Structure 1
Amino acid sequence: MNLRISKAAAVLFIFSFFFTACEDPTAIGLELQEPGTQIGTSYTDTATVRASTVLLKDSIIGLGAPRVQVGRITDPVFGTVTAKTYAEFAPLSFPTNADSIDVSKGADSLIINLDYNYAFGDTTKAIAMNVHRLTQAFRDDETYFTNEAMTYNETPVGSVTFNPRPSTTYRSTTDTTQRLPLLLKIKITGAFANEVLQALAQTSTTQTFANVINGLALVPASGSDEQGSIVGFLPTSTNTTLTLHYKSKKNIAKTTSLLFTDRYYNHIEANRAATSLASLTANGNTISSADAGNRTYLQAGAGLVTKIELPFLADFRKTQSGGEQNLAINKAELIIPLVTSTVITARDSMMLPPVISVVEATTSKRIALNAGVPSALLAENSTAPATLQYRGAKGGYVYVVNITSYMQNLLYNRRANNGLILLPANVSSSLSTPTNLAQTVNRAIIEANQSPSAERRIKLRLFYSTAQ
């Protein structure tokens, strides 16, 4: 008996390597059977799949992200999402000659140039943005997350109104391809520009300058609820600069270049009142797909993720007599349909998250961590994290991800069946490296009807083999 089980297991192991997709799964691999071993190959997509939307917003690192966001979008489904950016800046170099600055003349202006490469929402509407002075300084011992706010003076020191048009034009040279920057220019005069000039004359290090000025807050103008977009700026771009214009004691026009330091981040907050997601207010709050119109949601920046559970998987190997059958997963895929009306145009599809990773969950509906890093499933035959692959119109507007190894491990209790989380971001191997979860507000709406007869529902598609 033991010999027979051993042979069956070996056949199943070999069989899993030779499996490829086939229209008739019952005909797969029958030639591999050994005498005395019966292999049955089956297919199912009726396993129970539960789905819910979870709010996870307290651990999105924003400090030092390549992109920061400013703006406001109002959506009947996701509510109002507001993004603000807080940033410290300092001179590229400090004047060595005290006579080179005449503080008494005051500054002519402080010109801020912001390079931006991202816009989400209705870019046909103008966005009004204000610049404020921070009233608190950045701290060395603080890790800044996107749900944290900083205080700033309510009176703006500058403002601009513009229609966001992020550049998608590239220039090729002999050895490189460069994006042509699109700059947003903000001119600041008056008291704040003068204070920057005084700090420049009175300080000699980045730290002492920052302690005097604190930094800037870039925020959407108050009362501008009709704004329809959020834009993403590049703080470390060579085209993002601050230039101070002033006069020397000899009345010579001078300029000093300033740059954002490595201390900056964006703050994102969402108001979902009067939406089906109104109950998602505190970190860890959950709403089932049944309570949200048979849908679940993803939104980067705002912290909306989808959790998927396979509650009855432990019964999959059970036989009618109460025993357990030897079973191998040949291929397992999650099929995740999107609400068709939300992706039917090319513009709609561009609203989808650029990447959605598949990570393991905990029993408390949080992201499982491994040495502090999200425990991501690995793509089959790869060391890269598993991500959802989007199939457009020809594929039925669905996401697909192969989870064969994960399923095999679940069936033999080599992994805890706490469910999976669809995370609208890449997964970083470093605890302190911000992912694009902090850099976009892209979203997706998933068809998650839990009725087994529903035409569009999340499916676990399984090809598996049994040995008797």
Structure 2
Amino acid sequence: MKNNHKAMGSKSLFIVLIFLSVFLVQCTKPTTIGGDLVNASELNFGSTDTLPIKVTTIKSTDSLRSFIYSSLPFALSRYYLGQLEDPVFGLNTAEIIAQYGPYPGTYASTFAGATVDSVVLTLILDSSGFYGDNAAMQSLAVARLSDPLRLDTSFYTFQDFATEPGLVGEMTNFVPNLSKRMLVITPDSSVIDTNSAYLRIPLDNSLGQEILAYDSLDFAEVNNFAEKFRGIKIYSSTSSPSMMAVKLDATYSEIDIYYHTATEDSLVFPIHALSGYSATDRQTQDYTGSFVEPYIGSENDSLFFMQSMGGLNLEVNLPDLSSLGNIIVNKAILEFTLESLSFDDTLVYKGLSQVILKDTSNAFVLDVSQVLNIGGGLPVFGGKPKIVVRDGEAREVVQMNISSLMQEVYYGNVSNKVFVKPTLEISQLGRFVIQGFTGDKKWQPKLYLNYTNQN
């Protein structure tokens, strides 16, 4: 039996060796992987940067939400405040409209016998968000709202709310001290350094006296309190070359009512913004008489302009690619070159951190949505200023990868009209002046296209 097994094993090994030799001979014949699909010799690679594009500076028509009501309400990271007189873009205005109230259920008793000593609105400043000349003089006014801010509603930056006649407070002709930090002395005499710059605006004592006279039910329920005290509007009463930034949700960003009773002195009743209450930042632009005004709506002009706060955007009409034949888009880069005006100070009036592309429905274009979905992030798309050197000249440009978009435009699946907008339209100020279709052609708005022609 052993000999038979040995013979069978030798026979099997012989058959395997014959099979392998045939297989190896067949594998020595060269084969082009995918050659049965596309003949590589028939592929033609091309590139161009001369396809015409149309660019226009337009006023944004977006409705930018500044407060979103939900089970977890959304509020802004910072609220802008001021009348910024920009040497290029004209007047940019931001007003804070906010409800204030006690933490729900915190105060269930009345303040019988309380006498108000003073009322102070404290605004915690966001020094990193200030824009323009931080040393500029400011003047602020505070008015009481007559329109209610509904607690179950989202708000937009274009919305305004009526106020009662007169003011409940003001602070005039001051320069914000961004190096001064608020120190808080607690009831046990310990000191808390908030590490935050601040403003303290005196309000009318009558407002505090009214609030302390509310019924205990008003302090127990947010809706009850908001019905009686509808909130305030904080706005700049004069223009300046600066815009302030405020953190409404910061600790100690509140209205403090200081009072005493017959038995106790130095008492304080704080009411807060955004603690179950609504707030919005109204942002508007006025281009009347400004440098930018004649350029708005002008197609393929010598300069183009962009800004945040729902201001100016770019409308771009991308080219028709049908003249290139049957193509696959390998790479498409849309480029704009930033321009410096002789009378403008870009160190004071800083540029945008990043721009993005949206379609006619205000949705992200395909290249943006793709990188967000796969986790590549917006750096893959581009849109941030960077230095480029051409023919020994260095310029700052913004480049956006729109390869997928251009393929869809070629197929006719999407519109060739897109809009260039700031990534952070509400919560970060900035603006661009962009070279138009004059001057050196290598810095004019351009679409760089690499493609494969399958004809």
**Superposition TM-score, scaled by structure 2 size:** 0.76
- Partner Cα separation in structure 2 for residue 279 and residue 147 of structure 1: 23
Structure 1 residue 133: Cα displacement: 1.1
Q: 2:207 aligns with which of 185, 192, 210?
A: 192
Cross-structure match for 1:338: 338
* Secondary structure at 2:331 match in 1: strand
Report the CA distance between 1:393 and its aligned residue. Answer: 7.1
CA distance in 1, matches of 2:232, 2:420: 34
The alpha carbon displacement at 1:214 in A equals: 0.7
**Higher alpha-carbon Rg:** 2
Return closer, same or farther for 1:255/1:424 CA change in 2, 3 Å cut-off.
same
Distance 1:334 1:258 in 2: 50
Pairs within 5 Å for 1:31-50: 34=40, 37-50=41-54
Contact map agreement 2:98 2:280 (CA 8 A) in 1: yes
Equivalent residue, structure 2, for 1:378: 368
Aligned residues: 390
Structure 1 residue corresponding to 2:435, chosen from 444, 447, 467:
447
Tell me by how many angstroms 1:276 deviates.
5.5
Aligned to 1:458: 445
Alpha carbons of structure 1 residues 257 and 125: separation in structure 2 relative to 1, 3 Å: same
CA drift of 1:305 comes to 0.9
Give the 3-state SS of the residue equivalent to 1:231 in structure 2.
Answer: strand
Equivalent in the alignment of 2:315: 307
Segments of structure 1 that go 5 or more residues without pairing to the other structure are 1-6, 12-32, 170-177, 281-285, 318-324, 426-435
User: Distance between the aligned counterparts of 1:97 and 1:345, measured in 2?
Assistant: 56
Contact in 2 for aligned 1:107/1:194 (Cα 8 Å): no
Q: Indicate if the aligned counterparts of 1:157 and 1:192 stay in contact, CA closer than 8 A.
A: yes
**Distance of 1:129 and 1:158 partners within structure 2:** 9
Write out aligned runs for 1:41-440 (5 A): 41-63=45-67, 64-92=75-103, 94-98=106-110, 100-103=111-114, 105-117=115-127, 118-140=129-151, 142-160=153-171, 161-164=173-176, 180-199=195-214, 203-204=218-219, 205-221=221-237, 224-225=238-239, 227-261=240-274, 262-275=277-290, 277-278=292-293, 287-290=297-300, 293-317=301-325, 325=326, 327-341=327-341, 347=347, 351-360=350-359, 362=360, 367-369=361-363, 374-375=364-365, 377-378=367-368, 383=373, 384=377, 386-392=381-387, 396-413=395-412, 415-425=413-423, 436-440=424-428
The structural deviation recorded for 1:153 is 2.9
**Paired residue type of 1:133:** R
Question: 1:123–1:154: structure 2 CA closer, same or farther, 3 Å change rule?
Answer: farther
Structure 1 residues 164, 450: CA separation in 2 closer, same or farther (over 3 Å shift)?
same
Deviation, 1:215, is 0.4
1:454 maps to a residue whose letter is: K
Matched residue type, 1:315: S
CA offsets, 1:272-296, max 9 Å, x none? 112355479xxxxx61344xx5222
Task: Give, in angstroms, the shift of residue 316 of structure 1.
Answer: 3.0
Preserved CA contact (<8 Å) 1:289 1:448: no
The answer as to whether partners of 2:108 and 2:216 remain within 8 angstroms in 1 is no
Percent identity for Structure 1 against Structure 2: 18
Counterpart-to-counterpart distance in 1, 2:35 and 2:420: 35
SS in structure 2 of the partner of residue 377 of structure 1: helix
Instruction: Report the CA distance between 1:380 and its aligned residue.
Output: 6.8
- TM-score between both structures, scaled by the size of structure 1: 0.74
Give the Cα–Cα distance (whole angstroms) in 2 for the partners of residues 389 and 399 of structure 1. Answer: 6
CA distance in 2, matches of 1:259, 1:249: 26
**What do the CA deviations read for 1:158-211 (whole angstroms, capped 9, x no partner)?**
222433465799xxxxxxxx9932222222242222223223767232211111
How far 1:148 moved relative to its partner?
A: 1.1
Q: Which amino acid aligns with 1:256?
A: F
For residue 147 of structure 1, give the secondary structure of its aligned residue in structure 2: coil
Query: Which deviates more from structure 2 when the two are superposed, residues 395-404 or residues 89-98?
Result: 89-98
> Which residue does the alignment assign to 2:12?
none
Are the structure 2 counterparts of residues 166 and 407 from structure 1 closer, same or farther at C-alpha, using a change threshold of 3 Å?
farther
Residue 266 of structure 1, CA deviation: 1.0
Aligned partners of 2:308 and 2:425 also within 8 Å: yes
Question: Which stretch of structure 1 is more off in the superposition, 334-343 or 231-240?
Answer: 334-343
Q: Distance in 1 between matches of 2:343 and 2:448?
A: 23
What is the CA–CA distance in structure 1 between the aligned matches of 2:317 and 2:383, rounded to whole Å? 16
Is contact 1:380-1:404 (8 Å) kept? no
Separation (CA, whole Å) in 2 of partners of 1:272 and 1:438: 18
Q: Sort the Cα spacing of 1:9 and 1:217 in 2 relative to 1 into closer, same or farther, 3 A.
A: farther
Residues 40 and 399 from structure 1, CA distance in 2 versus in 1: closer, same or farther, beyond 3 angstroms? Answer: same
* 1:312-368 C-alpha deviation (Å, 9 max, x unpaired): 333332xxxxxxx3x2222211111111348997725x61122311112x2xxxx43
RMSD: 3.2
